[in-house]
Amino acid sequence: MSGATKASLLAAYRARLAASGMAWTVEPGKLDAAMEKTRATLNGAGLVDTTGTYFQAARRDVGLPSRMTLKALHALPDGEGWV
């Protein structure tokens, strides 16, 4: 497996969403709220669907397979700046 971390995956996912052109991503606070839900999911809460196109692309961006179980995502190392 790559040297991917939860932090690098979250950053890649945020970048994918921000570049997507979806209107909600530029509304104040919406992208931040989505990232907090994603962070909670990576920590075990399971609030976000991790099978979507942008999340799969973000996984590939950091060297992970496009499909992973939640258990495997939870097992990723936290990485720098992870809270």
Residue ranges covered by each domain of the chain: 6-74
Pull the structure tokens for residue 53: 């196109």
pLDDT higher than 60, residue 1 = no
CB contact at 8 A, 78 and 36: no
Residue with tokens 């994603």, as numbered in its chain: 38
What local confidence, expressed as pLDDT, does residue 67 receive? Answer: 86
CA angle 49, 31, 26 (to 5 degrees): 130
What local confidence, expressed as pLDDT, does residue 13 receive? Answer: 97
Encode pLDDT of 6-48 as tens digits.
Answer: 999 999 999 999 999 999 999 999 999 999 999 999 999 878 8
**Torsion sign, CA atoms 54, 59, 60, 65:** negative
What local confidence, expressed as pLDDT, does residue 63 receive? Answer: 96
